[in-house]
């Protein structure tokens, strides 16, 4: 409270909390410099942050020499403490933008994707569009590792950057930044930034960041003083610094009423805000990832983000509980990179924990109230789809009507021969059958999955257990052989008993068909030269079982089966040589990099590359690349032919490349 010219002005600041914030910031910077801290607030009272910060070791390398702390009351919008230059928009936001990315992902359907906490994202090395045409941006996590396919919830709770970029790429940074501005960020013109803003670039104020997080924490309610927006689409409220003004006669000239000036930012914000705070505060995932004693696993529900920008110039920890939103930022006044490791918690995160413990002291832990239209369902782990009977499950929350309706196809229960660990077939005895469950990742993640030795089902089928093990050996299919690749019209050959009454050839889908389709109908005459029939596989693809059933004159039935693989779809093949239209220079450039983008629905056999009609390379494993030597100027033409295992092929369009001096 201050008096000026007969006016008594009551501020929102909590003086004791302000002193503790100043003390914590100044002493933490001293600890990082290797100096002896005083651990006393400005009024001489003990600095309560000592218990959390005293054990932090001095920082090797350049130390932050300035910082800021902001504390806002979520339920009123009151600015309780502000240390340092918190209102100056000079800090790169980095991954502090993550909640706004996720909020926008939950809010709006884009490109046939409606994100939920269960949505599967890919935490793998991936390339995204860069700042300008032809440039590439490949995000990486602070700890240098990747987790593969994970749920959005896990990605948010553990601060994984590639999945975050995946959402931002789908929705566009412009729409995300428009949302961030409505929620409270007064900077970041929405037309200037690309995906790399989630790592570096841009300028925000810690005060704005704490305020925007408070709006998410209030489930879309923005508490504050009405103001004229700084620009189109910007917020129309500011945090409350003054709560009451009284003149010398005791007349109340101005009084802040939180509920009267509250505004809801989005009509559906309670549900969206609840989902955002839920995924960023998940205590189980945080404890599993970091350990229960980690600074990144708070003792109360806290939607928390910690990030150090990729250039090491800004160290952030921003978090919110249902009661308080706190932003902590450390940097250097000269703009030099700091010595923190990318995943360090010794800087802003330790300071955040100290401040959070002080501001929440004596208050019971509480969670956000769940809106009425939030439902809870069982979903498959990783995929987030409805259980299929094979997948491990977990519980997840959704906005009613925006939940998965599709059953999972990524988890598969596969029968194996327990002795060979090959896929079981109709010939595998029941006593040797075991069932194993596998997660089959999306195609984009398959290379990463294999490179990291994650389990995949065997590709080979049980060929050791044959129908010949049966006492009925006169009835056999000799061609096609087991697991042969087939396409088009297939001649089926074999043998039947001499005392034949009839035989029937049929096929069924899979290795243990439940339905059979006749091939050629019932036959009562012995086959000529072993020709049992012709099987038209047109329109079929995948694993099939051929069955030959013979009936002897005495009524005895015999059976022979064989599993085969049918592939009638040729591969797709596209040829390129770097940037479209690029002219290669001779002799400064030594080779033309030829790459083949090829895909097949089942199994690719090889790719052949031709230069001027001459075979120059045969590639059987990816990546399908070939460097063609440059020996002269002129025009070179290339073609690629892709073959699948069944013998189908496809030829690319002719690629023309110019070589000049």
Tell me 285's DSSP state. H
Q: Which residues contact 156 (CB under 8 A, 6 or more apart)?
A: 98, 102, 164, 279, 280, 282
CATH code for residues 18-359: 3.40.710.10
- Which residue matches tokens 């428009």? 178
- Three-class DSSP category at 94: helix
pLDDT score for 587: 87
Q: Identify the CA nearest to 350 among candidates 49, 92, 58, 59.
A: 49
Q: Which two tokens stand for residue 262?
A: 């509250």
pLDDT score for 5: 62
Residue ranges, comma separated, of all CATH 2.60.40.10 domains in the chain are: 467-567, 572-660
pLDDT value at 513 more than 60: yes
- Distance, in Å, from the CA atom of 423 to the CA atom of 168, rounded to the nearest integer, reads 41
- Distance, in Å, from the CA atom of 617 to the CA atom of 625, rounded to the nearest integer, reads 9
Q: What is the mean pLDDT of residues 564-575?
A: 91
On average, the pLDDT of the chain sits at: 91
How remote is the C-alpha of 614 from its chain's centroid?
Answer: 43
Q: What is the mean pLDDT of residues 566-578?
A: 89
In this structure, the number of other CB atoms found within 10 A of the CB of residue 294 comes to 14
Residue 222, strand partner residues: 263
pLDDT score for 465: 59
- Distance, in Å, from the CA atom of 280 to the CA atom of 545, rounded to the nearest integer, reads 49
Q: Identify the CA nearest to 51 among candidates 321, 306, 350, 301.
A: 350
pLDDT in tens, 327-350: 999 999 999 999 999 889 999 999
Superfamily of domain 572-660: Immunoglobulins (2.60.40.10)
In this structure, the number of other CB atoms found within 10 A of the CB of residue 654 comes to 11
- 273: alpha, beta or left, given left = phi > 0 and alpha = psi -120 to 50? alpha
Backbone angles phi, psi at 599, to 5 degrees: -150, 150
- Distance, in Å, from the CA atom of 329 to the CA atom of 331, rounded to the nearest integer, reads 7
Cis peptide before 587 (omega within 30 of 0): yes
Q: By percentage, how much of the chain surpasses pLDDT 90?
A: 72
Greater confidence (213 vs 401) lies with 213
- Which residue matches tokens 């009454």? 501
Of 488-497, 508-517, 533-542, the one with minimum mean pLDDT is 508-517
Counted residue by residue, the chain has a size of 661
Q: What is the mean pLDDT of residues 532-546?
A: 93
Which uninterrupted H or E stretch holds 222?
strand 221-222
As assigned by CATH, the class of the 467-567 domain is mainly beta
pLDDT score for 226: 92
Which uninterrupted H or E stretch holds 272?
helix 269-281
Q: Which residues contact 636 (CB under 8 A, 6 or more apart)?
A: 592, 611, 612, 628, 656, 657, 658, 659
Task: Using pLDDT thresholds of 50, 70 and 90, give the confidence band for residue 464.
Answer: low
pLDDT value at 392 more than 60: yes
On whether the CB atoms of residues 69 and 327 are closer than 8 A, the answer is: yes
Of 79-93, 297-311, 365-379, 511-525, the one with minimum mean pLDDT is 511-525
Residue ranges, comma separated, of all CATH 3.40.710.10 domains in the chain are: 18-359
Q: Which residues of 382-393 are buried (b: 16+ CB within 10 A; e: fewer)?
A: bbbbbbbebbee
pLDDT score for 110: 64
Greater confidence (323 vs 576) lies with 323
Task: Using pLDDT thresholds of 50, 70 and 90, give the confidence band for residue 233.
Answer: confident
- Three-class DSSP category at 92: coil
Tell the burial category of 75 from Cβ atoms under 10 Å away from its Cβ (0-12, 13-18, 19+): middle
User: Three-class SS string for 163-192?
Assistant: HHHHHHHHHCHHHHHHHHHHHCCCCCCCCC
Tell me 647's DSSP state. S
Which uninterrupted H or E stretch holds 298?
none
User: Three-class SS string for 8-66?
Assistant: EEEECCCHHHHHHHHHHHHHHHHHHHCCCCCCECCCCCECCCHHHHCCCCCCCCCCCCE
Q: Which residues contact 538 (CB under 8 A, 6 or more apart)?
A: 488, 568
Backbone angles phi, psi at 356, to 5 degrees: -60, -40
Task: Using pLDDT thresholds of 50, 70 and 90, give the confidence band for residue 472.
Answer: very low
Q: What is the mean pLDDT of residues 344-366?
A: 95
pLDDT value at 469 more than 70: no
- Distance, in Å, from the CA atom of 537 to the CA atom of 557, rounded to the nearest integer, reads 27
Q: Identify the CA nearest to 439 among candidates 409, 410, 406, 408.
A: 410
Residue 270 to residues 54, 106, 135, 168, 324, Cα–Cα distance (Å)? 40, 12, 39, 22, 17
pLDDT value at 61 more than 60: yes
Helix axes 173-183, 98-107, angle to 10 degrees: 100
Q: Which two tokens stand for residue 163?
A: 């999945």
Q: What is the mean pLDDT of residues 388-392?
A: 92
pLDDT value at 178 more than 60: yes
Which uninterrupted H or E stretch holds 331?
strand 324-331
- Distance, in Å, from the CA atom of 49 to the CA atom of 25, rounded to the nearest integer, reads 9
pLDDT score for 112: 60
pLDDT in tens, 437-455: 999 999 999 999 999 999 9
Assign 3-state DSSP to the chain and report helix, strand, coil percentages, each to 5. 20, 35, 45
Q: Identify the CA nearest to 527 among candidates 553, 500, 554.
A: 500
Of 218-222, 385-389, 442-446, 617-621, the one with minimum mean pLDDT is 617-621
- Distance, in Å, from the CA atom of 157 to the CA atom of 561, rounded to the nearest integer, reads 51
Count of CA atoms in the C-beta half-sphere (13 A) of 287: 10
Residue 240, strand partner residues: 78
Backbone angles phi, psi at 481, to 5 degrees: -75, 165
pLDDT in tens, 78-113: 999 999 999 999 999 999 999 999 999 999 876 667
pLDDT score for 461: 80
Q: Identify the CA nearest to 225 among candidates 11, 4, 82.
A: 11
Q: What is the mean pLDDT of residues 271-299?
A: 94
- Distance, in Å, from the CA atom of 20 to the CA atom of 582, rounded to the nearest integer, reads 62
Task: Using pLDDT thresholds of 50, 70 and 90, give the confidence band for residue 468.
Answer: very low
Q: Identify the CA nearest to 306 among candidates 290, 324, 291, 318.
A: 318
Q: Which residues contact 553 (CB under 8 A, 6 or more apart)?
A: 499, 500, 501
pTM to 2 decimal places = 0.75
Tell me 386's DSSP state. B
pLDDT value at 471 more than 70: no
pLDDT value at 76 more than 90: yes
């Amino acid at each position: 409270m201050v008096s000026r010219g007969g006016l008594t002005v009551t501020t929102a600041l909590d003086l004791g909390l302000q002193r503790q914030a100043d003390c914590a910031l100044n002493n933490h910077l001293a600890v990082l410099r290797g100096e002896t801290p005083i651990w006393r607030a400005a009024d001489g009272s003990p600095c309560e942050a000592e218990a959390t910060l005293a054990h932090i070791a001095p920082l090797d390398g350049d130390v932050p020499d300035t910082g800021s702390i902001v504390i806002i009351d979520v339920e009123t919008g009151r600015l309780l403490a502000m240390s340092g230059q918190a209102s100056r928009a000079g800090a790169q936001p980095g991954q502090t933008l993550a909640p706004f990315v996720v909020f926008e992902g939950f809010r709006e359907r884009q490109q046939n994707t409606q994100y939920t906490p269960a949505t599967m994202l890919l935490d793998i090395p991936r390339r995204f569009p860069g700042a300008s045409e032809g440039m590439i941006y490949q995000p990486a996590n602070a700890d240098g590792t990747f987790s593969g396919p994970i749920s959005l919830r896990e990605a948010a709770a553990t601060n994984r950057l590639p999945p975050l970029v995946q959402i931002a790429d789908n929705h566009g940074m412009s729409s995300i930044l428009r949302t961030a501005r409505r929620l409270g960020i007064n900077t970041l013109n929405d037309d200037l930034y690309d995906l790399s803003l989630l790592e570096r670039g841009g300028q925000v104020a810690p005060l704005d960041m704490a305020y925007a997080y408070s709006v998410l924490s209030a489930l879309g309610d923005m508490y504050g003083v009405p103001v004229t927006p700084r620009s189109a689409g910007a917020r129309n409220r500011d945090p409350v610094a003054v709560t009451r003004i009284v003149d010398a006669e005791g007349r109340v000239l101005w009084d802040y009423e939180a509920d009267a000036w509250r505004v809801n930012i989005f009509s559906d914000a309670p549900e969206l805000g609840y989902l955002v705070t839920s995924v960023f505060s998940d205590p189980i995932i945080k404890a599993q990832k970091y350990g229960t004693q980690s600074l990144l696993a708070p003792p109360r529900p806290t939607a928390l983000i910690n990030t150090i920008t990729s250039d090491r110039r800004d160290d952030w920890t921003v978090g919110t509980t249902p009661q308080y939103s706190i932003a902590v930022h450390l940097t250097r006044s000269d703009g030099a990179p700091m010595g923190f490791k990318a995943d360090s918690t010794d800087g802003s995160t330790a300071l955040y924990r100290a401040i959070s413990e002080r501001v929440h002291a004596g208050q019971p832990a509480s969670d956000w109230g769940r809106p009425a239209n939030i439902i809870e369902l069982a979903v498959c782990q990783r995929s987030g789809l409805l259980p299929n009977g094979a997948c491990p499950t977990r519980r997840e929350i959704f906005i009613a009507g925006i939940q998965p309706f599709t059953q999972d196809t990524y988890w598969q229960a596969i029968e194996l021969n327990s002795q060979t660990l090959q896929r079981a077939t109709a010939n595998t005895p029941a006593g040797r059958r075991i069932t194993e469950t596998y997660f089959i990742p999306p195609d984009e993640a398959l290379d990463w999955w294999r490179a990291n030795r994650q389990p995949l089902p065997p590709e080979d089928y049980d060929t050791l257990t044959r129908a010949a093990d049966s006492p009925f050996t006169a009835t056999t299919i000799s061609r096609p052989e087991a697991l042969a690749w087939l396409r088009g019209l297939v001649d089926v050959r074999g043998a039947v008993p001499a005392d034949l009454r009839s035989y029937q050839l049929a096929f069924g889908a899979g290795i243990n068909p439940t339905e059979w389709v006749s091939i050629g109908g019932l036959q009562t005459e012995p086959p000529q030269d072993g020709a049992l029939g012709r099987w038209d596989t047109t329109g079929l693809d995948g694993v099939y079982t051929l069955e030959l059933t013979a009936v002897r004159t005495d009524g005895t039935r015999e059976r022979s089966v064989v599993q085969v693989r049918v592939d009638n779809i040729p591969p797709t093949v596209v040829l390129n040589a770097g940037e479209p239209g690029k002219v290669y220079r001779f002799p400064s450039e030594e080779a033309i990099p030829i790459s083949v983008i090829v895909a097949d629905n089942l199994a690719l056999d090889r790719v052949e590359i031709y230069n001027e009609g001459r075979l120059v390379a045969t590639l059987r494993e990816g990546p399908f690349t070939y460097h063609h030597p440059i020996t002269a100027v002129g025009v070179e033409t290339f073609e690629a032919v892709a073959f699948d295992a069944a013998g189908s092929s496809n030829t690319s369009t002719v690629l023309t490349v110019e070589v000049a001096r």
